[in-house]
Amino acid sequence: MKLHTINTGYFKLDGGAMFGVVPKTLWNKLNPADENNMCSWALRCLLVEEGNRLILIDNGCGDKQSEKFFAFYYMHGDDTLEKSLNKAGYTFDDITDVFLTHLHFDHCGGSVKWNKDRIGYETSFKNATYWSNEQHWEWAVYPNARERASFLKENILPIRESGQLKFLKDGDQLFEGFKVMCVYGHTEAMMLPIINYKGRTIVYCADLFPSAAHIPLPYIMGYDVRPLVTLEEKTKFLDTAAKNDYIFFFEHDRTIECCNLELTDKGVRQKDAMPLKDVL
């Protein structure tokens, strides 16, 4: 197995929304806000090589939305999904599996692109199976008012229409050493890949821990639909992760790709920050 960091660029979100009830005097030291209270966040994905399979975990915002849409999120940086895949030695057509942790636009927007005539949509990875789960799929297709702006039909419905969609369940393995864990605080049945690599456990944190700054228990996003469930999920998982020396891989941390954990008198905290290449 080989793992590659796939950077797809950066975007900005409101710091208060990202850190929930934590006061700005605390979180602003961790990710300083600009004059509009916006903080910069990564759109970092993971590419997994295993045998003859090439699995892409999440795929960023994509590029098919309107200029007005992207203006809300201040897209910046030189990285793109295509450039990062090429850097790893691959193209979109080489991807065999697209694993979608959940269907918020910043995690699945690259799944679908304009067709050649720009009058409709087609899947970006024509040779891939797209993986979600039935609970989350239904949640996204028939969204609640709170999340509707994050579940864009053009990112979602063309996947099903293509015939490339398949479902996993909590506890399933995509392959040996790649286990699925579902969590329910951020959104319904978000899937976290738990990857065994040469005896180390690497957790693709998605939006349970969007950044290293979100490791302390009170740091829960205002976007979460069930913040108290997130609190319970974090509490249980951090204890397991610290005891078993898990490595966290962060999707949204603008500077830290990975870290390990330690138990302190204040609870579980980040220990050492590292790029993915140093983990392996």
CA gap 73, 190 in Å, rounded = 23
pLDDT value, residue 117:
87
For residue 132, CA distances in Å to 85, 158, 169, 170, 174 come to 22, 14, 9, 11, 11
Q: Convert the pLDDT of each residue in 32-81 to its tens digit.
A: 999 999 999 999 999 999 999 999 999 999 999 999 999 999 999 999 99
Pinpoint the alpha helices (H) of 36-141. Answer: 67-71, 81-87, 105-108, 134-141
Digit-coded pLDDT (tens) for 218-258: 999 999 999 999 999 999 999 999 999 999 999 999 999 99
Q: Is the pLDDT of residue 280 over 80?
A: no
Query: Could you read off the pLDDT of 97-106 as tens digits, one per residue?
Result: 999 999 999 9
Average pLDDT over residues 107-124: 95
pLDDT of 177 higher than 90: yes
pTM of the shown model: 0.97
* Percent of the chain scoring above 70 in pLDDT: 100
Q: How confident is the model at residue 198 (pLDDT cuts 50, 70, 90)?
A: confident
Confidence band for 140, pLDDT divided at 50, 70 and 90:
very high
Q: Is 265 helix (H, G, I), strand (E, B) or coil?
A: coil
Domain 2-279 fold: Metallo-beta-lactamase; Chain A (3.60.15)
